[in-house]
Amino acid sequence: MIFHKNNLYRALIYIACIFVFNMCAKKLKPVEDEITTFENALILISMDGFRWDYIQFANTPHLDEFIRGGVQSEGIIPPFPSKTFPSHISLVTGKHPEEHGILSNKMYDPVFDEYYYIGQNSKPVLEEKWYEAEPIWVTAEKQNKRAMTMFWPASEAEIMGIRPTEYFIYDESISNSERVSQILKWMDYPERKRGNFFSLYFSDIDSKGHKYGPNSKEVYRAVEKMDSIIGELVDGLKDRKVYNNINIIITTDHGMASTSEDSVIFLDDYIDLEDIEVVDWGPASAILPKVDIKSVYSKLIDAHPKLDVFMKGGLPKNLHYNNHRRIQPIIAIAHEHWSITDRKTYNSNPGRYNGGNHGYYSNYDSMRGIFLARGPGFKSGFKGPSFNSIHLYELMCYLLKIQPTDNSGFLDSTRIYLTAE
């Protein structure tokens, strides 16, 4: 029998392939059985309106355990104004509101001749044109990381042509437990689909703070319910054996100050409301005059001892709130605990002012929020000083091992919380 060399080579190759296949088959496991390492992964959690000191007055066993194994600051300082959307966007971009373009929860753009407003089913929230800075999930996606957001203000919008790999449009009807379940579902993805950056957002504590005030039993009960939600997340991560392998940050957008129906400033006591449009009511009210700006300013500047009034460009530099077209010509800022309204609105429901609010100067202790973190990137059992929320973007980029884009934060401001490099 005559063998050609080619036939001999084919036979040898065939035998070798069978050998290698059998060896590999003994070692390979199905993808779903592989242990997830979650290297350089991060879960960012916001509990809206969670003031820095609430945890001292509520029963929070899960958060207490979290802190013992991680780090806690004396508070996180929001940007001005200390409102939900400006603060959340600053936190994930490392930029002040005048830099990222979201100046308030409601604002008017004179170039677009349109209003931006928040809330469920808000069309402007989804429009890319309003956002002028790069959030962490875009930074991650641009560097071949996967971002998966279970709510975060503006995370459902296309920004710079990019959305998270997976995201949800805000729907307040989705329960807190369902939100946690979605995060855990993402944890179960095979490695080829697994995310690197995850976000969670909860609004319960803020809602109770507005209605009942920051020192109420209703707020403390809301804190305790959120503690249980964190317990659900932690238990799920422990079941998957990834709790100690993933970095987790729990923070917020602002704190909460108590308000009273006896501490109210009525703008219509000092000026004809027909002469102005109040684009955004609140502790920091944005006023667009319909008549001469200086005449409106002159009537308001010394109107009330608990009211500071500025013309655009004249606000204190440390507020970083002078240089954007969406800043209105006049900004009226109430002192802590005071409200700005008109008599018609007040008379229709005076009780609404007996509760809590935010949006005040950020240097008030009442505006500080929580910062808690744990994971392989953080120290254990460490408590440090408060810091400005714009520094979190650099910190998150460091944990994700991605290059930050241009921003106003500094990693050195949070480095004290990190494990030794």
137 and 274: one domain? no
Name, in order, each residue with C-beta under 8 angstroms of 297's C-beta and a sequence gap of 6 or more: 309, 311, 330
Contact by Cβ (8 Å): 147, 197: yes
**In a domain? residue 242:** yes
**In a domain? residue 14:** no
**In a domain? residue 80:** yes
* Domain harbouring 109, CATH code: 3.40.720.10
* Domain harbouring 324, CATH code: 3.30.1360.180
235 and 318: one domain? no
Q: Over its length of 421 residues, how does the chain's per-residue pLDDT go in tens digits?
A: 333 434 434 444 444 443 333 433 333 333 333 333 677 899 999 999 999 999 999 999 999 999 999 999 999 999 999 999 999 999 999 999 999 999 999 999 999 999 999 998 899 999 999 999 999 999 999 999 999 999 999 999 999 999 999 999 999 999 999 999 999 999 999 988 999 999 999 999 999 999 999 999 999 999 999 999 999 999 999 999 999 999 999 999 999 999 999 999 999 999 999 999 999 999 999 999 999 999 999 999 999 999 999 999 999 999 999 999 999 999 999 999 999 999 999 999 989 999 999 999 999 999 999 999 999 999 999 999 999 999 999 999 999 999 999 999 999 999 999 997 5
**In a domain? residue 379:** yes
Catalytic residues: 84
184 and 243: one domain? yes
Beta bridge mates, 250: 45, 372
What SS3 class is residue 227?
helix
Dist. CA 20–CA 260, nearest whole Å = 77
The residue out of 354, 383, 403 marking a domain boundary is: 354
Report the sign of the C-alpha dihedral through residues 390, 394, 399, 405, in that order: positive
143: closest CA among 267, 276, 240, 40? 40
**In a domain? residue 32:** no
Peptide linkage before 81 cis (omega within 30 of 0): yes
Name the maximum alpha-carbon separation found in the chain.
113
Distances (CA, A) of 368 to 77, 232, 333, 359: 5, 26, 18, 11
111 and 247: one domain? yes
**In a domain? residue 4:** no
The number of distinct structural domains making up the chain is 2
Dist. CA 195–CA 148, nearest whole Å = 6
**In a domain? residue 16:** no
**In a domain? residue 26:** no
Supply the range of the domain harboring residue 309: 264-354
Q: What pTM, to 2 d.p., does this model score?
A: 0.90
81 and 153: one domain? yes
